[in-house]
Structures are given as C-alpha cells and as structure tokens.
C-alpha cells in the first residue's frame, strides 16, 4: 500500500473520494471540500493549507484523510489559544500545526475515510501513523483530530501519547414523531406553552416561512443567501470565511444536500437559515437577517428544522455549536470529541493531564444541563 499527500483535492477523483464517505456526510463530500479550495475560503488569508492523505493499492483508493496545515486556530471550534500562548511564553513555536478536520465545520464525521470492502481498522491505523509521521517530519507542533466519530475516537485513544478532549453540543433526536404536535406532547405543559407562543408570534408578525431544497435556488437567490450569511459576521465577528463563489459552486454541485429556510416580509426576503442534510441527520449551519423580528431565529433555525426532520424521517438535528438556550427547546446536551498529539513531550504530558481534569468537568456540566430538558420524562440522548 502507498500513502500520498496532496495539496489539492482536484488531484483525487471525486467518485473515488465520495465512495469512501460511507455515511454520506455532506461536509466530507469531494464537492464541498473542493469548493472551499477553489473559491478563496482557504490559503494564506485564512490560515488553512490542504494536505489530503490517500492510501491505495494498485491504483485503488482504500483510505483517505482530510487534513490541513494551520497557521492559526480560527475556524476550528476546538479552542487551543491558551496552548499557543503557553508555547510562546516558553520560546517555542505552536504554529504551524496539523488539523484533521473540515474547515469551519464543528460537525462530527469520519476523519478516517475507508473503502466499504477494506479492513477499516487496518486502513485507519495506517492513516493515523502516516499523518503523525508526516507532521513530525515536517516539524509541525502537533496533530489535532477534530470531531471524529466514536470508533475513530477509540482508535485514537489507543495511539501512543494522544489525549482525548470533549465538549458539549445540543442535538435533537427524533423519537418517531408523526408531527410537531406529537413532539410537543412529550414536553411539559410549561415548555409546550412557551414553544407554541414563540411560533405563534412569528405568524402574528406577518412573516411567511418557506423551506427550499438548495438545488431549487437560482443564482440570484444564492447571492441573497450569501449576503444574509455575511451580515451576521458584519454585526458580530468581522470578516466572513465563505465567499459568494463558494455558495454558488456548492449550489450547482451538491444543492440537493442543502435545506434553505427563507423568511419573507412585505419587503421580500428578511432572513434565512442554511442547513445541510444526509440520509439520517439535518445540520444547522448559518443564519442571517436583514431585518430582525421577535422569535424568528428560533423559528427558522430550530422549529423549522424539527418540522423538517419529522416530515422527512431524519433521526437527528444538529443545529450547530454552542447555545444553551437550545436545551429548553428539546436539544439534548451531547458530547463531541477531539484528539491531540503534541510533539514536545513536556507540553504533551501537561496538556494530557489538563484534559483529564477538563473531561470530568465537561461530563459533570453535561449532566447538570440535562436537567433543563423540557420533557415530561427522562430520555437518553440517543
């Protein structure tokens, strides 16, 4: 078997790559990752430099891994700024580092892509070794595996000197509901009343909600989607990472994976929520508004997503990172994971000890947050 490292996904056949994406995760599709490259969302300006690992035999692609050399920690959603500061204080260089992740996407998914017919554990193990050897030989400070799946977490936990880290997101789980009212019937009377009031207030403001598949949008509508996405960054976080060209390209190449919720008032489109889906899960990603309305964010980003999952019989709804206000609207505190290997042994040991303590605190916090769920009885997260 041979391992190759590519600095562009264009060097890898899209059909071969997508065949390894066993769960059909939209963020791991060749089309999504290539669009990030080709439309100015990566590179020097953003600090993401692609390094795609592939493993094959006689021209057959058996495994792959999306990785990026990083010169900062933006867009990762696993926060290690304090580690970088500690390196600097000791006269060491933290950047560049290597992350195995999807840029700007805090969504759990395969990081070790393997062919259906391949021995997954064998191929995954070879990829892990290749990634770590590449980073070490290139004098990168370490390797960071962000949002791996449960089986990958177990593989990484068995890798020498690799420490696990956890965090908490808020996910909704479909219990074979037949309607939104069926979901509400699981909630306490108080929370049921509050959710109904929030939804009713949107209708009372003469707003019209429209749910569209991305492949039905025109170029002009995708331009509006991008403008709404960018408006949130203009108000809160500065420069947006995704370009209009990105939205246009993914709209053409994988629009069927996008679910767009438009909110219209008498002036036209006032707001939108951008979501993606696969066969089991809906992923909430972006929100933006030109004009603000009471409870519209909850309706467009949460309740419309729940409605969509029920109608299309999806199992989960992951509305994005952070936001404890999601819990009382039916979203379970759910652990997400990352794995870290630093090549400075002293720092690696210190970070490992810290993460052991942090994991216990995160787990305790998750249990406490679970008491805020709105249901009549306790339901496990999955």
pLDDT, tens digit (0-9, with 9 covering 90-100), for 28-42: 999 999 999 999 999
Q: What is the mean pLDDT of residues 230-237?
A: 79
Instruction: Give the Cα separation of 68 and 143 in Å (integer).
Output: 10
pTM metric for this prediction: 0.96
Instruction: Give the Cα separation of 87 and 72 in Å (integer).
Output: 13
112 and 55 Cβ atoms separated by less than 8 Å: no
What is the pLDDT confidence band of residue 375, given thresholds at 50, 70 and 90? very high
At 58 the pLDDT is 86
Flag whether pLDDT at 382 surpasses 70.
Answer: no
At 331 the pLDDT is 98
Determine whether 65 is exposed, middle or buried from the number of CB atoms within 10 Å of its CB (0-12, 13-18, 19+).
buried
CB burial string 126-143: b at 16+ within 10 A, e below: bbbebbbebbeeeebbbb
Domains belonging to the chain, first-starting first, are 2-168+334-370 (3.40.630.30), 175-314 (3.40.630.30)
Determine whether 261 is exposed, middle or buried from the number of CB atoms within 10 Å of its CB (0-12, 13-18, 19+).
buried
Flag whether pLDDT at 381 surpasses 70.
Answer: no
Q: Which two tokens stand for residue 182?
A: 């069926």
355 and 170 Cβ atoms separated by less than 8 Å: no
What is the pLDDT confidence band of residue 236, given thresholds at 50, 70 and 90? low
Q: How many other β-carbons are positioned within 10 Å of the β-carbon of residue 344? A: 16
DSSP state of 155: H
What is the pLDDT confidence band of residue 238, given thresholds at 50, 70 and 90? confident
Alpha carbon 357 to its chain's center = 25
What is the pLDDT confidence band of residue 234, given thresholds at 50, 70 and 90? confident
pLDDT in tens, 124-181: 999 999 999 999 999 999 999 999 999 999 999 999 899 999 999 999 999 999 999 9
């Amino acid at each position: 078997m041979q391992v190759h490292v590519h600095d562009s996904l264009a060097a890898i056949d899209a059909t071969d790559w997508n065949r390894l994406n066993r769960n059909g995760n939209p963020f791991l599709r060749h089309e999504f990752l290539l669009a990030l490259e080709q439309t100015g969302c990566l590179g020097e300006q953003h600090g993401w430099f692609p390094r795609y690992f592939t493993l094959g035999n006689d021209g057959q692609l058996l495994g792959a891994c999306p990785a990026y050399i990083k010169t900062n920690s933006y867009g990762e959603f696993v926060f290690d700024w304090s580690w970088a500061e500690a390196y600097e204080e000791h006269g060491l260089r933290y950047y560049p580092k290597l992350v195995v992740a999807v840029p700007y996407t805090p969504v759990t998914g395969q990081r070790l892509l393997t062919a259906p017919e391949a021995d997954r554990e064998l191929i995954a193990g070879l990829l892990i070794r290749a990634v770590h050897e590449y980073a070490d030989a290139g004098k990168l400070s370490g390797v960071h595996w962000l949002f791996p799946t449960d089986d990958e977490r177990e593989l990484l936990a068995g890798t020498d000197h690799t420490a696990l880290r956890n965090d908490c997101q808020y996910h909704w789980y479909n219990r074979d509901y037949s309607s939104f009212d069926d979901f509400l019937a699981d909630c306490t009377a108080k929370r049921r009343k509050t959710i109904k009031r929030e939804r009713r207030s949107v209708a009372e403001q003469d707003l019209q909600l429209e749910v569209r598949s991305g492949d039905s949008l025109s170029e002009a509508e995708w331009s509006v989607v991008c403008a709404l996405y960018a408006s949130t960054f203009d108000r809160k976080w500065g420069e947006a990472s995704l370009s209009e060209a990105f939205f246009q390209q993914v709209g053409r190449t994988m629009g069927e994976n996008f679910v767009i919720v438009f909110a219209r008032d008498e002036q036209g489109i006032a707001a939108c929520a951008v979501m993606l889906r696969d066969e089991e899960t809906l992923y909430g990603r972006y929100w933006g508004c030109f004009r603000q309305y009471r409870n519209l964010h909850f309706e467009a980003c949460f309740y419309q997503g729940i409605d969509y999952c029920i109608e299309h019989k999806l199992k989960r709804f992951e509305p994005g990172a952070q936001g404890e206000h999601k819990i009382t609207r039916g979203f379970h505190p759910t652990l997400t994971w990352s794995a870290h290997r630093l090549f400075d042994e002293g720092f690696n040991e210190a970070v490992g000890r810290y993460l052991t303590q942090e994991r216990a605190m995160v787990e305790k916090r998750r249990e406490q947050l679970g008491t805020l769920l709105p249901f009549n009885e306790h339901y496990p997260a999955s």
